[in-house]
Structure 1
Amino acid sequence: MITPQFSCSQTEDSIIITLYCPSIRAADVEINVDDTLVTIHVNPYFLRLNFSNPVLEDEESSADYDPSIGNLTVTLTKENKGQIFDDLDLLAKLLAPRRSTQDPSPAIEVLSVENRPEDDLVTKAEALSLERDEFAEAEENDWQLPQKVPGELPPLNISVQSHYGFLDMYSGYLRHATHTENEINELGDAAESCTKAERRAKRLKHEDEKFDEEHYMADFVDDEYIQELIQWVHPHVSDPNPFEYTEKENAEMLRLPRKEYLATEVQTHNLYLTLITLLFSYMYDSRTSQHDPTSESAWTICNLTPSFTALDPPISSYYTGGCHTFSEDELQETLVPSYRRSLTFPLYRSFALSEKCREDVASIFRKGKRTVMRCLLEMKYILDHHEVYYIYSKVWLNDFCVWIQADASDDILGLIGKTLTDFKVDKASIGWELEELEAAAKRSMELQSDSDDETDGESDNS
């Protein structure tokens, strides 16, 4: 079956669904309405939509087909007339399956376990062992048995295969990464087997090895062009027009997978943090290319994203429950890897430029999930058209685009954006003594200036 191109709109009393279905027989159209679920079938097209509120197929409903343009228009009555249906422009959300109402928790609960004869034997044997081996020691130490708090058990790993990507749903995509000219893969052949701790350790080591003090100081001293980049305004931030997806964006959304995600609260919390790092990489490339992607854009985006290059997304160590609160400590923990990478790998390495990218991310978050979605679609388009880095679109961006529309909250995005606006990353947390490097660069500039003045004075005296 083919999912047709479609759009949805509403009046005070009705929902209007317009499908592009050329060369069909209007008499063959089948429409079924079940509360919020609407299915429309006419060979070879099939469309299933799940609305936020219930609709009815009654006497006021209708279906009209215009063969001259191939449009089938279905009008359904709102069960509660005057009710506003949200997110009719988020096509992937409308296509998402209806959520299951079943409780996913285990259906079996162990209430009690009666002692078995063999359990009694074990207990008695342990008691005998204590009497023989430990009572004598206890008596010598005035019955003070030695004690210590048990250490934390190492994580149990029963498979050599590690998972990564959106909600750790993927594996196998990097099995032959070293043979595909994947220049951003920092894990090498171990990408499929590294633990999360090993990934982070390899990432930090690679960043420390690649950081170039001279490059950073040179960009700090000669920053004329970087200042021009900082002054540039991103069109998604400044656009005052009402939001409307383009035909290209609608077509891209229709190609997204149909998935439903059963994420826990802590997983959802970490997804928002990962989204910050994705948009930071996108904003750095957009700002340095003036929103005109180059042949290096895919490399730049991937290299600046820890969850791509080292499969190391941010995992909050400050999470205390609920995904509506984001502390400055965890935002610092989230952004520091992005800052480190922006000061290590791309052409322009400026802390001020990184700060501007953070401000861009804050502005995009404040605008809500539609603008966030637009940025992700642009990012996805860049990676989809790269012969190697498209895999990161498959394991991260496809799912993020679906999740943003169906599950992300504009309120939470706005809260993160507001927090990021006034937030500052501490230079000392980067770990490379940036303030000392900048002070040394300033002293070098002053010495150079004094030397030039002395030379000019000697020339005038002569």
Structure 2
Amino acid sequence: MITPRFTCSQTPESLIVSVYCPSIRAVDVEINVDETLFTLHINPYFLRLDFSHPIVEDDASSARYDPSSGYLTVTLTKETTGQDFQDLDLLAKLLAPRENQMGSPLIEVVSADGSSPLPEMAAVSTPDEELVSMTRQLNLDDERQQILQAAENDWHLPQDAPEPPISLSEQKTYGFLGIHSGYFRHVSHTENEVNELGPDAETCTLSERRRRRVMHENDKWDPEYYMADFADDERIQELLHWKHPHVLDVQPFSYTESENMAMLRLPRREYLATPSHTRGLYLTLITLLFSYAYECRTTQCDPTPESSWTLGSLTPAFSALDPPTSSVRSTEKSENPFTKDELMATLVPSYRRALAFPLYRSFALAEVCQNDVACFLGKGKRLVVRCLLEMKDILDHHEVYYVYSKIWVDDFCAWAQACARWTLPVLSLSTSLELTLSPRFSDEDLISLGKRLAELRVEKESIGWGLDELEAATQGVEEREADSDDDESS
């Protein structure tokens, strides 16, 4: 089945679904409405959408097909007139499986005469027989409740994050929630300059990846390059004063047609994350947006052939498969706050890589990139998804680096729209300058995180390369040269 291109809109009374399905027979269209669930089937297209509020199919509902444009327009009535259906532009969220609503069964199974389902239990005469009968009854009750719960939840069974299996294989997993593997088996035959693990990418442990990342950053660090950019910063000053269009844009937000098509192609998975995994995703999101901010600022949103390399090299989760990790254990509650040290540990690797790899190496430039990330988060989840989609587009057009889109960005786009609101904690600002986690994913939470990042200052000594001393030495050289020029002129 093919998922067709579609858009959703609303009026105070109705919900309108516009579906592009050219060259079909309108008489074969099958439409079904079940509370919040809408399904449409017409060979070879199938569409299943889950809305935030109930809809009904009544006399005011209609379906109209325009053969000239190929669009089928379905108008459905809102169960509650005037109710606002949110997130109709987040297509991946509408396509995601229905939210679990597991509760008490609505049907109680009893015997035909209304007595206990197993009246024979009253006749049990021995303790052993009573124990066997009670165990059988518990098993039957458990099975019955699971079936009832599954039926209530549209046959989406409840799931828990599985414990990591004990594996005797040397191959390791990586990427979003560690669900990917095998993408770097033949890396020695590709020109992947981003990969810092070489042919060992499939077998390196997390600790080994981090060790190699830090070692590679130290090897690539060039103090003379940094001093030269610090002394001759005319171009860098231009980059510092440039403003990202997304930050300046005050128009009502609307995804473009190409962005909608990209969202339709996103993976449709159910992501099961422990609290520590979830916190790690938020930290990794900061590093992705940081590399995106640097790329946009240095190219002024006009990607070059080097843009995909820049994105990959500045993101630790790409280059060394080393995303930030949370300090919270999987067994702890997700309400534990993000500490300043946890956020600092996330930003420092991005700063180090921005000072060791790309064309422009400036601490001030890294600081404005951090501020850009704060602004992106402050605009809410829709802009965050747009930034990720633009990042994905750059990576997808490279014959090698598209792999990082597959193992990270695709899942991030789908997660941010469809899954974060159900099972993942979010971030909000507390009075103690720490970030706490709440059970929903909202623009307000991202705005709070953006404010926290805007207030956070990364100290130069945390980078570990003596930046203050290098800058002082550069200024001293400039002063001596200026004094020498004054003496010669006199």
TM-score (norm 2): 0.80
CA distance in 2 between counterparts of 1:218 and 1:342 reads 15
Pair 1:414-2:413 in alignment: no
Instruction: Within 5 Å, give how 1:173-252 maps onto structure 2.
Output: 173-252=183-262
Contact 1:318–1:329, Cα closer than 8 Å, also in 2: no
Deviation at residue 94 of structure 1 after TM alignment? 0.6
The residue type equivalent to 1:215 in the other structure is: Y
- Name the SS for the 2:52 alignment partner: coil
CA distance in 2 between counterparts of 1:416 and 1:176 reads 39
- Name the SS for the 1:252 alignment partner: helix
Pair 1:439-2:449 in alignment: no
Deviation at residue 58 of structure 1 after TM alignment? 1.8
Partner of 2:463: 430
- Cα deviation digits, residues 67-109 of structure 1 (max 9, x gap): 2222111111222222211100001111112234569xxxxxx
Percent identical: 64
Deviation at residue 363 of structure 1 after TM alignment? 0.2
Deviation at residue 254 of structure 1 after TM alignment? 1.1
The residue type equivalent to 1:385 in the other structure is: H
The residue type equivalent to 1:60 in the other structure is: A
The residue type equivalent to 1:421 in the other structure is: A
Pair 1:450-2:450 in alignment: no
Pair 1:369-2:402 in alignment: no
Pair 1:390-2:402 in alignment: yes
Deviation at residue 401 of structure 1 after TM alignment? 0.6
Contact 1:35–1:54, Cα closer than 8 Å, also in 2: yes
Deviation at residue 264 of structure 1 after TM alignment? 2.1
Bigger shift: 321-330 or 288-297?
A: 321-330
- Name the SS for the 1:80 alignment partner: coil
CA distance in 2 between counterparts of 1:275 and 1:323 reads 19
Pair 1:346-2:379 in alignment: no
1:323/1:166 CA distance change after superposition, 3 Å: farther
Contact 1:286–1:293, Cα closer than 8 Å, also in 2: yes
Contact 2:292–2:387, Cα closer than 8 Å, also in 1: yes
Match of 2:416 among 378, 383, 404: 404
For the aligned residues, what is the CA RMSD? 1.6
- Name the SS for the 1:343 alignment partner: helix
1:40/1:33 CA distance change after superposition, 3 Å: same
Deviation at residue 40 of structure 1 after TM alignment? 0.4
- Name the SS for the 2:38 alignment partner: strand
- Name the SS for the 2:76 alignment partner: strand
Pair 1:46-2:58 in alignment: no
Deviation at residue 205 of structure 1 after TM alignment? 0.6
Partner of 2:273: 263
- Cα deviation digits, residues 114-152 of structure 1 (max 9, x gap): xxxxxxxxxxxxxxxxxxxxxxxxxxxxxxxxxxxxxxx
1:211/1:252 CA distance change after superposition, 3 Å: same
The residue type equivalent to 1:276 in the other structure is: I
CA distance in 1 between counterparts of 2:339 and 2:56 reads 45
Contact 1:274–1:314, Cα closer than 8 Å, also in 2: yes
Match of 1:356 among 368, 371, 377: 368
Pair 1:308-2:341 in alignment: no
Partner of 2:297: 287
Q: Highest CA radius of gyration, 1 or 2?
A: 1
1:323/1:161 CA distance change after superposition, 3 Å: farther
TM-score (norm 1): 0.85
Deviation at residue 241 of structure 1 after TM alignment? 0.7
Partner of 2:436: none
- Name the SS for the 1:407 alignment partner: helix
Instruction: Within 5 Å, give how 1:63-212 maps onto structure 2.
Output: 63-101=63-101, 158-212=168-222
Partner of 1:111: none
CA distance in 1 between counterparts of 2:328 and 2:415 reads 23
CA distance in 2 between counterparts of 1:13 and 1:441 reads 68
Contact 2:276–2:328, Cα closer than 8 Å, also in 1: no
Residue ranges of structure 2 left out of the alignment (5+ in a row): 104-164, 421-440
Residue ranges of structure 1 left out of the alignment (5+ in a row): 104-154, 458-462
